[in-house]
Chains A and B, each alone.
Chain A
Amino acid sequence: MEANPRSTGRLPAAFLTPGSSSFMDFLSAHSPDLLPGNRKLPEGIVEAPHGTTIVAATFPGGVVLAGDRRATMGNMIAQRDIEKVFPADEYSAVGIAGTAGLAVEMVKLFQLELEHFEKVEGATLSLEGKANRLSTMIRGNLGMAMQGLAVVPLFAGWDEGREKGRIFSYDVTGGRSEEHGFAATGSGSIFARGSMKKLYRDDLTEQQATTLVVQALYDAADDDSATGGPDLARRIFPIVTVITDEGFRRLTEAESSELARSITERRLEQPDGPRAALL
């Protein structure tokens, strides 16, 4: 006697089942094929464009997250102006190194997961809660990571409870660790981290923090071929975002070009960048 609920155009049962506030839980119940981790994988290694370096640093009053604009495929530059840093919600942002296509899809799902929770519950997730959700998503991608399609994000946000900016880094298995001060991920991260290690102080202003991360990206691009430096000719500059108690803000093109230009100008005199004290 029970009519097929789909044939009437009525919302299927999965839509009206109370309980979960997670969009991913809903997807896995209703249309599991849409979840990135549930796809059947072909054998072998797949080659696809890779995004490279993401850096983050905290300052009293917030956190900055920035990324270069290059995507590479082998020794080719696949895209010069790719965007790898996204707002996750009003008080957090995520920057992703690794397979660009998957990364963008993962960010889209992550943003939706946070928004969905907010709408259903009428309250936002805690920063730790957001970081844990991202962890789950990366763990779901492990199968693809084994085939060379790894996605490794850096998550930064303003913790309203503790009133400070925080950074979380991840590994391919979804392992999450909080970073204090600064962090970097992607192919140029070694150089970026080295640069920030020498330049970082814990009393930076917002403006100094944005300068710090662009310096670090410059240093990464200097030594890593997969990281793109500021492209003055094509007017392509790093994406720099700032998250404070007022929320997420992305530096406008004018601001980031100004920042990149002033750094490039100083580097004409000192190609290796600012010097740290020896002792």
Chain B
Amino acid sequence: MSTPFYVSPQQAMADRAEYARKGIARGRSLVVLQYADGIVFVGENPSRALHKFSEIYDRIGFAAAGKYNEYENLRIGGVRYADLRGYTYDRDDVTARGLANVYAQTLGTIFSSAGEKPYEVELVVAEVGTEPEGDQIYRLPHDGSIVDEHGSVAVGGNAEQISSFLDQRHRDGMSLAEALKLAVQALSRDTNGSERDIPAERLEVAVLDRTRPQQRKFKRIVGRQLSRLLEADDAAVTKTDEPSDEAPEE
């Protein structure tokens, strides 16, 4: 009979965290940004059908990096939680804070239970308010902690570098095109600092738009609308440049 090795709890937890982090880092990063009319989700995703972002409820969106089957499971759990809550109470009683709490409890229990493999996922739960001040963004790392984020957040492989890039450049009240352009810039920076081009077809973009007349504020931005936004931004930038160039000549 072999004697089991003694592993200190600290070491066991560190190993599990390392395992989860590595799994998450294999996935591509995604970013969530506040803009003037809401919250925009941007990520690189070659698949048209397997989404990283989705609608949870009227004002609540979900983004996830990491292992697909695990975050898909959590996403459906979240939709069920939100729909059940809205059905038993009222649609207004479904909040991102409540959902983030349930996710944190779920991830935390799985992370610290020795019998289960820790989930290799990092989630973002965002809720758009009626005013920009009411916007909420929560980041949920693999271990069940919650981070209340403001302005911009990045999760996934290259998250730290992208976050610091975004922190320096993101400001309140950006237009959707500006925020989208900033997000794409941030995502196209590689770990070694070089930049690559992400074509529009490989981008997955969704918004929680507070100006939408419908009750459900979540909307995917695809196809022509996406390329128009990406181009419109270039046009807007040159437009703002033009008058300053031409003004002295007049």
In-complex Cβ contact of B87 among A9, A109, A120 (8 A): A109
Residues of the A chain whose Cβ atoms lie less than 8 Å from the Cβ of B68 = none
Contact of A11 with B83 at beta-carbon distance under 8 Å, contacts A119-B54, A119-B55, A122-B49 already known: no
- In the complex, what's the smallest C-beta–C-beta distance from B175 to chain A, in angstroms? 27
Residues of the B chain whose Cβ atoms lie less than 8 Å from the Cβ of A16 = 73-74, 76-77, 106
Residues of the A chain whose Cβ atoms lie less than 8 Å from the Cβ of B88 = 34
Once A and B bind, how many residue pairs between them come within 8 Å at the CB atom?
A: 65
The answer for the CA separation of A15 and B105 in the assembled complex, in Å, is: 14
The answer for the CA separation of A116 and B105 in the assembled complex, in Å, is: 23
Q: Does A79 contact B (CB under 8 A)?
A: no
Residues of the A chain whose Cβ atoms lie less than 8 Å from the Cβ of B77 = 11, 15-16
- In the complex, what's the smallest C-beta–C-beta distance from B194 to chain A, in angstroms? 34
Q: Does A75 contact B (CB under 8 A)?
A: no
- In the complex, what's the smallest C-beta–C-beta distance from A222 to chain B, in angstroms? 37
Contact of A11 with B76 at beta-carbon distance under 8 Å, contacts A23-B83, A119-B55 already known: no
- In the complex, what's the smallest C-beta–C-beta distance from A30 to chain B, in angstroms? 7
The answer for the CA separation of A119 and B56 in the assembled complex, in Å, is: 7
Q: Are B101 and A122 in contact (CB under 8 A)?
A: no
Residues of the B chain whose Cβ atoms lie less than 8 Å from the Cβ of A9 = 101-102, 105, 109
The answer for the CA separation of A147 and B88 in the assembled complex, in Å, is: 25
0 or 1 for each of B81-106: is its CB under 8 Å from A? (1 = yes) = 10110111000000000000111011
Q: Are A11 and B51 in contact (CB under 8 A)?
A: no
The answer for the CA separation of A34 and B51 in the assembled complex, in Å, is: 31
Q: Are B87 and A10 in contact (CB under 8 A)?
A: no
Residue of A nearest to B49 (CB): A122
- In the complex, what's the smallest C-beta–C-beta distance from A131 to chain B, in angstroms? 21
Residue of B nearest to A18 (CB): B73
Residues of the B chain whose Cβ atoms lie less than 8 Å from the Cβ of A115 = 83, 216
Residues of the A chain whose Cβ atoms lie less than 8 Å from the Cβ of B83 = 23, 112, 115-116, 119
Number of B residues, CB within 8 Å of A:
27
Residues of the A chain whose Cβ atoms lie less than 8 Å from the Cβ of B56 = 119
- In the complex, what's the smallest C-beta–C-beta distance from B91 to chain A, in angstroms? 10
Residues of the A chain whose Cβ atoms lie less than 8 Å from the Cβ of B72 = 18
- In the complex, what's the smallest C-beta–C-beta distance from B64 to chain A, in angstroms? 14
- In the complex, what's the smallest C-beta–C-beta distance from B219 to chain A, in angstroms? 12
0 or 1 for each of A108-119: is its CB under 8 Å from B? (1 = yes) = 110010011001
Q: Are A112 and B54 in contact (CB under 8 A)?
A: no
The answer for the CA separation of A109 and B77 in the assembled complex, in Å, is: 18
Contact of A15 with B54 at beta-carbon distance under 8 Å, contacts A9-B105, A34-B88 already known: no
Q: Which of B49, B76, B106, B216 has the most CB of A within 10 A?
A: B76
0 or 1 for each of A4-15: is its CB under 8 Å from B? (1 = yes) = 010011110011
- In the complex, what's the smallest C-beta–C-beta distance from A232 to chain B, in angstroms? 30
Q: Does A200 contact B (CB under 8 A)?
A: no
* Main DSSP-derived SS at the B contact region: helix
Residues of the A chain whose Cβ atoms lie less than 8 Å from the Cβ of B74 = 16
Q: Does A27 contact B (CB under 8 A)?
A: yes
The answer for the CA separation of A9 and B101 in the assembled complex, in Å, is: 9
The answer for the CA separation of A23 and B51 in the assembled complex, in Å, is: 21
0 or 1 for each of A34-78: is its CB under 8 Å from B? (1 = yes) = 100000000000000000000000000000000000000000000
Q: Which of A30, A31, A120 has the most CB of B within 10 A?
A: A120
The answer for the CA separation of A115 and B109 in the assembled complex, in Å, is: 30
The answer for the CA separation of A116 and B55 in the assembled complex, in Å, is: 10
Residue of A nearest to B220 (CB): A122
In-complex Cβ contact of B79 among A5, A108, A109, A120 (8 A): A120
In-complex Cβ contact of A119 among B79, B101, B106, B109 (8 A): B79
Q: Does B26 contact A (CB under 8 A)?
A: no
Residue of A nearest to B73 (CB): A16
Q: Does B171 contact A (CB under 8 A)?
A: no
The answer for the CA separation of A34 and B84 in the assembled complex, in Å, is: 10
Residues of the A chain whose Cβ atoms lie less than 8 Å from the Cβ of B109 = 5, 8-10
Query: Using a CB-CB cutoff of 8 Å, which residues 15-67 of chain B contact chain A?
Result: 49, 51, 54-56
- In the complex, what's the smallest C-beta–C-beta distance from A39 to chain B, in angstroms? 15
Q: Are A116 and B106 in contact (CB under 8 A)?
A: no
Residues of the B chain whose Cβ atoms lie less than 8 Å from the Cβ of A30 = 80, 84
In-complex Cβ contact of B105 among A10, A23, A26 (8 A): A10
Q: Are A8 and B105 in contact (CB under 8 A)?
A: yes
A-B contact pairs, 23 of them (CB 8 A): A10-B105, A10-B109, A10-B110, A11-B81, A11-B106, A15-B80, A15-B81, A16-B77, A18-B72, A18-B73, A23-B87, A27-B87, A30-B80, A30-B84, A34-B84, A108-B87, A115-B83, A115-B216, A116-B79, A116-B80, A119-B79, A122-B49, A122-B54
Binding site for B on A (CB under 8 A): 5, 8-11, 14-16, 18, 23, 26-27, 30-31, 34, 108-109, 112, 115-116, 119-120, 122
